[in-house]
Amino acid sequence: MLNSFRQSMAWLHTWFGMVLGFVLMAAFFFGALSVFDREIDRWSNPATRFEPQPMPSYDKVLRPAFERMQPTKDAVDAMRPRVNGDMPQRLDTVVSWSAYTTHRDPVLALYAGYEVPNAKDPEEAIWAYGTIDPRDGRVLSNDQLKIGSEFFYPMHYSLTLDWKNLGFWIVGFSALVMLAALVSGVVMHRKIFREFFTFRPDKARLRSVLDLHNLTGVVALPFHFFFAFTGLVIFAGTYYFPVGHTQLHDLHELHAQIEANETGLPHERAGVPAGLASVDDMVAEAQRRWQAKDKAGDVGFLVLQHVGDANGYVSVYRAGTDRIALVGDGIHFKASTGELIREDPPASAVGRVSEFLTGLHLQHFRHWLLRWLYVLGGLAGAVCIATGFVFFVEKRKRQHAQQGSQGARIVDALAVTTVTGMVLAALGILVANRLLPETLPGRGDFERYAFWGTWALAFVHAGLRSAPVAQGRANPAWREQCWAIAMLAVGAVALNWITTGDHLLKTLSAGYWPVAGVDLFLLFGATVAAMTARKLTKNAAIAQPRIDTEPAHV
Amino acid sequence: MSGTTAASASSIAPRLRIASRVCAAVLGGYAFAWGLVALTTALLFAAQLDFHDAEFSGAVIGLVGYLVVFLWAIAARRLAVVWSVLLVGGAAMAVAASLVQSMLV
């Protein structure tokens, strides 16, 4: 579009990067937090602070828990318009019962799907969700929001905007722009290898901001590219390019028929009642078979399909803690007799690539160092985007001040909101989690309000304090919100101590890393924020450094 | 960029051209990518690949294709060429995918 390819790429990098950077910031930051989502769950649900548990006995723990499950009143009401006639009092034709756990979960997630009589779409099931303590089957309230896995994690890929899957589309488009920004960023900088080793913190501010932008972008370039790309691939078939459910639906159906014939796993109920053989024996048999192939034998996912019917079957899937690839190694048994129906064959070449790519993104493996590297990669991405904002503003604000334009001021206020404001929002939900009464009805909703409320306050604050930017000076909101981060983070650690008694000396000496790790990370964040605030205060006191622009940026 | 912005603030046409180019990259690119995903999936399935393997390969190739045409749409000299390649190409591939499907089912 512009005079040269390089200039077009610079235009793309600057403008798409600035607009979608606000979303990417959230994707990177909450992605980094999601690496330790289960640990954040422990911090936010003190009743679940115990060691991870294996899949419990079906006969002793799971069956009674499944039998008690029913969809919530909200779920039943939501289903009403899609049914001819009334909803039944109790749903008892079970499509599937399933239980899911990982090597980091003390608690067990249960899912129950039921057939809906007279549903307009006969394929549609109604679902019930539950969480239990696998040691005794005790039901944990759904009001206890799992802040890591039920809030920060969805924030990472959908911003929790579920309406029409809008959030998925926004984040997905931003991921595409991330890829385009990486390619265009490389095109803009011919001396990319040198930038690997270039960081001049003492040079003029603009130069050091750009150095940090390039450094965090280039050092972690494969990481950024890989995660943006695999993130798109993971959701492509479901949300972004659902060809198998739309245009190529008939091909998909053809495949489903072939597959059902090949696997011998019935797609429909037979309509003939049947009993259930011992599921515990089936699980033991599955574990024996994995062991024979030298694979770790923890059960990750247990599914009972068509419960109570002659076509019922039980699928046992392995928790792939011993490899990067996201594997299932499913073994399937006939429910009524316990005889083996099928053992999933080894994946095809394409299947192995797919399992590896999704597994590397979703991290079901057991490797703590690798986990921390993911956090560092995610935070490097966040720093890269934040410094991109700062560079955008610093480069323009003096010129805008002379022209009387408000552009730099607005972008800067939005940058404050997305960088420090987002951290404040994340701390806001943690603090609210410790302050709200444990048994408050709808507790999880109030925690969410605290998150969005804190973020909105940060936005208002950033806007109110933004006037100096229009005169070519810095927005004091940056340092003020850094102080607020430091205080809220220390406050969260203190509140955890006061409300649960689990202070750092106790959790560290007991080696209970989920809670100790979150506390230490909060204190580390508080230290970085306080140091940043001090540095910004000092900067504000001295004269503006001279502006040193780079011709590659237009 | 700041120079061009100041110069073009008075006239509407350059802004419209930028909007059209951004739309071409985002929406035209999506149409092209959809066709590429559908056609790759259908062809690989026709070539005896498992459906989900074909679907996965289609998504990978389609996403790489989207990225390439996205960058091209921003950089290309002639906007009309961009629009026609993306829309006609995307539609042609989507039609071809449906043809492959109708031969298999």
Q: Return the pLDDT at B5.
A: 45
Residue A461: predicted pLDDT: 98
What whole-number percentage of chain B has pLDDT above 70?
89
Q: Is B18 on the interface with A (CB under 8 A)?
A: yes
pLDDT of residue A1: 59
Mean pLDDT of chain A, nearest integer: 92
Of the listed ranges A151-155, A365-369, A510-514, the least confidently predicted one is A365-369
Q: What is the pLDDT of residue A526?
A: 98
pLDDT tens digit string along A192-248?
A: 666 666 677 766 777 888 889 988 998 899 999 999 999 999 999 999 999 999 999
d(CA A44, CA A40): 6
Q: Does B74 touch chain A (CB under 8 A)?
A: yes
Chain A, nearest residue to B95 by Cα: A247
Percent of chain A scoring above 70 in pLDDT: 95
Would you say A295 and A305 are in contact if contact means Cβ atoms under 8 Å apart?
no
Closest-CA distance of chain B to residue A8, Å:
5
Kindly report, residue by residue over A422-451, the tens digit of the pLDDT: 999 999 999 999 999 998 999 999 999 999
Residue A516 CA to residue A44 CA, distance in Å, equals 12
- Residue A515 neighbours by CB under 8 Å, 6+ apart: A39, A42, A43, A49, A496, A502, A507
The span from the CA of A368 to the CA of A374, in Å, is: 10
Decide if pLDDT at A53 tops 80.
yes
Q: φ and ψ at A50, to 5 degrees? A: -140, 180
Contact B63 A233 (CB under 8 A): yes
Return the residue of A nearest to B27 by Cα: A173
Q: Beta partners for A273?
A: A309
Q: What is the pLDDT of residue A188?
A: 85
Q: How confident is the model at residue B19 (pLDDT cuts 50, 70, 90)?
A: very high
User: What's the pLDDT tens digit per position in B38-60?
Assistant: 999 999 999 999 999 999 999 99
Q: What is the pTM of this model?
A: 0.91
What average pLDDT does the segment A411-425 reach? 97
Q: What angle do CA A481, A482, A486 make, to 5 degrees?
A: 115
Q: Is the pLDDT of residue A369 over 60?
A: yes
Q: What is the pLDDT of residues B78-95, one digit of tens each?
A: 999 999 999 999 999 999
Asked if B98 lies within 8 A of A247 by C-beta distance, the reply is: yes
Angle between helices B79-104 and B13-23 (to 10 degrees): 20
CA A283 to CA A55: how far, in whole Å? Answer: 10
Say whether pLDDT at A554 is over 80. Answer: no
As a dihedral over the C-alpha atoms of residue A11, residue A12, residue A13, residue A19, rounded to 10 degrees, the angle is 110
Statement: residue B98 has pLDDT above 60: yes
Checking if the pLDDT of A66 tops 90, the result is yes
In this predicted complex, what is the ipTM? Answer: 0.90
A333 φ, ψ (degrees, to nearest 5): -125, 150
pLDDT band at A29 (very low <50, low <70, confident <90, very high): very high
3-state secondary structure A145-179: CCHHHHHHHHHHHHCCCCHHHHHHHHHHHHHHHHH
Identity at A95, one-letter amino acid code: V
- Tokens at A27, concatenated: 């994707």
pLDDT single digits (tens) A93-122:
999 999 999 999 999 999 999 999 999 988
Query: Residue A551 pLDDT > 70, yes or no?
Result: no
